[in-house]
Amino acid sequence: MNASTVAKLKEIIRIYELFRSPGGKIISLPSGKGGVGKTVVALHLGAALTQLSYATAVIDMNLALPNLHSYAGELPDKTLTHYLTGLCKLEEVEKVKVKVGNSVLHIYPSRSIVDIAKKPELEKIVEFLTYLKNKYDYIILDLPPGISKYSIYPVRLSDCVFIVTADEKASYLDATKISKIFELRGVTISGHIVNKYEKKRDIEFENVICKIPLSPDVKRFPEVWNKRYFKPKIVKCFTELAEKISQMC
Ligand SMILES: Nc1ncnc2c1ncn2[C@@H]1O[C@H](COP(=O)(O)OP(=O)(O)OP(=O)(O)O)[C@@H](O)[C@H]1O
Ligand SMILES: [Mg+2]
């Protein structure tokens, strides 16, 4: 066996070990088009799962253009990008604790690889996720849009994959394309999440598990979860999505 075959086999064994290891489920949210709402869906879904008493973390896997820190309120000194580029150890990666209702959601922001100017070793994501699986019930990956190694690799490590699309024709077309590409690579798509839904037309799209309305409340993270008496519609919507996902994954 040559060195490259040995390396490939080792990689397959590492990924197999990740799936076999007990603990949390990894949920990834890829999309065809950019700007469809993956990041806000990841955050509100994370908030809803913590409200259902699941220990949940949201991870910024958009390593080139990360933006979870803008919702978390801070960008820690040691992030996933630092770990993947060899600048810190696994246990040193920092999280931000965000209060949502009566619970706390853990957010792992990332520093852009553009700032760090070092090439990340993507394969180290396996160790990072194995480490997190021991700590959380659900680990939600906020991904970059489209098809690249930065989206495909984490998707292949996930237990459940939900494609996010906005309620517009071009976005549906790209979601269909990306579903086919993932499926050709052996990834099972658990469902589609239609975001920015405006009820203007029927959705001719298969396996839709949730329609999230176009609403300014979506931008109000985490505040909408901390309202005591009035629960905005999107809180109900993400709670239903979290309940469905907790039964599926
Ligand atoms: N349901 C919604 N109603 C209203 N605005 C929304 C909704 N969902 C997302 N948005 C807004 O759309 C914009 C894009 O959202 P977001 O950053 O979550 O998309 P994304 O898919 O993560 O983008 P990217 O592909 O660049 O990572 C943001 O301004 C966000 O507040
Ligand atoms: Mg995003």
Residue 15 confidence (pLDDT): 73
Instruction: Pick the closest to residue 217 from 202, 229, 230, 200 (CA basis).
Output: 230
| 110 in any annotated domain | yes
For residue 13, is pLDDT > 80?
no
| 249 in any annotated domain | no
| 190 in any annotated domain | yes
Residue 6 confidence (pLDDT): 75
Residue 27 confidence (pLDDT): 97
Tell me if 196 CB under 6 Å of ligand 1.
yes
| 6 in any annotated domain | no
Ligand 1 centroid to residue 195 C-alpha, Å: 9
| 9 in any annotated domain | no
| 247 in any annotated domain | no
Per-chain mean pLDDT for the chain: 92
147, 150, 219, 238: residue to mutate for ligand 1 pocket, most atoms within 8 A of CB: 219
pLDDT digits (tens, 9 = 90+) for 192-205: 999 999 977 777 77
Residue 218 confidence (pLDDT): 95
**Are 23 and 182 in contact, with CB atoms under 8 Å apart?**
no
For residue 228, is pLDDT > 90?
no
Tell me if 30 CB under 6 Å of ligand 1.
no
Mean pLDDT of 216-239: 90
CATH number at residue 95: 3.40.50.300
Question: What range defines the domain where residue 192 resides?
Answer: 23-218+226-242
Give how many domains the chain has, as a whole number. Answer: 1
Q: Is 93 left (phi over 0), alpha (psi -120 to 50) or beta?
A: beta
| 7 in any annotated domain | no
Ligand 2 centroid to residue 164 C-alpha, Å: 11
Instruction: Pick the closest to residue 60 from 234, 74, 20 (CA basis).
Output: 74
Residue 20 confidence (pLDDT): 67
Residue 99's identity, in one-letter code, is K
Residue 77 confidence (pLDDT): 97
| 4 in any annotated domain | no
